[in-house]
Structure 1
Amino acid sequence: MISMAVRILLLAAAGLCGCATVQVSQDYDPQADLSHYGTWRWREPVQARTGDLRIDNPLLDKRIRRAVETHLAGRGIKIEQQPDLFLTYHLAIQQKIQGDTYYSTVGVGSYYNPWYGGFGTETRIRQYEEGRLTIDFHAADSGDLVWRGVGTYLLKTHKTPQEATAAVQHTVDKILFQFPPGLQP
């Protein structure tokens, strides 16, 4: 039988692992046949400036673009001058607050007051930054948005450029795994 302390440690470890993941979602035009798109090109040469130096980083822009290009090339979707799709991305960083309440003690009655009891609680509040990477696919002929993938993740700093590149590639891969809907590799 697992002791209570071991259970608490396992739950805490599972919670920490969950914070490190990328949560993804997609939205698309259900009337559009996305399976026939085989070529693409960036709509804009760089992302529009936001005023946030963490986002307006040319090295980060190159990492994101390279990660998208690598992923799509691996799926057989090629870059061309006259593409089927135009791609854009948008990166945003938002301050978030999370509160967790823990039930830390259990009270029991005493000889003089057998009905006394209760739970002790402790609430911890933490502030963190959430990154949100949005990748949009627009039909080249009409300009209409046909697919949007979004990845949200806990923002963290990386010690080396290689770690940063791997993290960006992981995020992009998770987002683009959903494209096209119903045809995941």
Structure 2
Amino acid sequence: MNPIKLLVITSLIIFTTACATNSAKVNFDKNTEIETVNYKTFAWLTNAKIMAPPVDINPVMKERVDNSIEQAFIAKGYTLVDDPENADFAISYTVGSRDKIKVNSYPATYNSGFGWGRGYYGGRGYYGTMSMGTETSVRQYTEGKLAIDVYDVKNHQPVWHGWATKRLSSEDKETPSATLNEIVIKVVNQFQ
């Protein structure tokens, strides 16, 4: 393979991997004993809509989350009704964020081109004997989480739990609506 072509392909793979690391991780758990195929209507489980609001919840953001979740279920073809007792299923959600710290420690030669830098193989050879040091990086970030729960009204049982976690960037914090809608749609699309 041509070295330039190999370099371009490698660069694309690295770029794609770097972009994917900040995407939301979405997953779900389902109660397989309750059939959801005939569901047509939904309601909020409680008037508050959110199950357990954090103490410092932004009321404007809460309204955005409420509306985004409603619209995502409506877009899937379900009809919103006012009374939970008249619905096929009821929904609720929780949100939160957590500050995290990530510490990485690498051999000093790691950042000098796949180990081919000074000190490779313990520093023996042309440069003589050297001790191999390490480089440590510490990054602090905030991880947000959204979880949506679905309950069967007739059986009064939990049916489905979907969630997403995402490392929040400064752009996510400044303009949260687009990111929020994208994540809610990804979570709700897992529900069947």
TM-score under structure 2 normalisation?
A: 0.76
Q: Which one has the bigger helix percentage? A: 2
Instruction: Kindly state the Cα deviation for residue 8 of structure 1 after the two structures are TM-superposed.
Output: 8.5
Q: Which residue of 1 aligns with 2:182?
A: 170
- Establish whether residue 109 from structure 1 lines up as the match of residue 115 from structure 2: no
- Counterpart of 1:122 (choices 135, 143, 151) is 135
Q: Cα RMSD between the aligned structures?
A: 3.1
Q: Which residue of 2 aligns with 1:99?
A: 103
Does the CA-based 8 Å contact 1:151-1:175 persist in structure 2?
yes
Equivalent residue pairs, number: 174
Matched ranges for 1:17-166 at <5 A: 17-46=19-48, 47=50, 48-52=52-56, 56-80=57-81, 81=83, 82-102=86-106, 103-104=110-111, 105=117, 106=120, 107-110=122-125, 116=129, 120-158=133-171, 163-166=175-178
Instruction: Give, as a single letter, the amino acid of the residue that structure 1 aligns with 2:188.
Output: L
Instruction: Give, as a single letter, the amino acid of the residue that structure 1 aligns with 2:27.
Output: S
Q: 1:57 to 1:45 in 2, by over 3 A?
A: farther
Does the CA-based 8 Å contact 2:172-2:179 persist in structure 1?
no
Q: 1:119 to 1:112 in 2, by over 3 A?
A: closer
Does the CA-based 8 Å contact 1:19-1:153 persist in structure 2?
no
Instruction: Kindly state the Cα deviation for residue 86 of structure 1 after the two structures are TM-superposed.
Output: 0.8
Q: Which residue of 1 aligns with 2:114?
A: none
Instruction: Kindly state the Cα deviation for residue 119 of structure 1 after the two structures are TM-superposed.
Output: 5.2
Q: What is the alpha-carbon distance in structure 2 between the residues aligned to residue 16 and residue 120 of structure 1?
A: 26
Instruction: Give, as a single letter, the amino acid of the residue that structure 2 aligns with 1:93.
Output: S
Name stretches of at least 5 consecutive residues in structure 2 with no aligned partner. Answer: 112-116
TM-score under structure 1 normalisation?
A: 0.79
Deviations 1:59-108 (A, max 9, x none): 11111111112111111111113101110000011121212334234254
Does the CA-based 8 Å contact 1:149-1:175 persist in structure 2?
yes
Q: What is the alpha-carbon distance in structure 1 between the residues aligned to residue 60 and residue 173 of structure 2?
A: 13
Q: 1:57 to 1:112 in 2, by over 3 A?
A: closer
Does the CA-based 8 Å contact 1:25-1:175 persist in structure 2?
yes
Q: 1:98 to 1:2 in 2, by over 3 A?
A: farther
Identity %: 27
Q: What is the alpha-carbon distance in structure 1 between the residues aligned to residue 142 and residue 190 of structure 2?
A: 25
Q: 1:10 to 1:118 in 2, by over 3 A?
A: farther
1:173 alignment partner, SS class = helix
Instruction: Kindly state the Cα deviation for residue 24 of structure 1 after the two structures are TM-superposed.
Output: 0.5
Q: 1:122 to 1:11 in 2, by over 3 A?
A: farther
1:35 alignment partner, SS class = coil
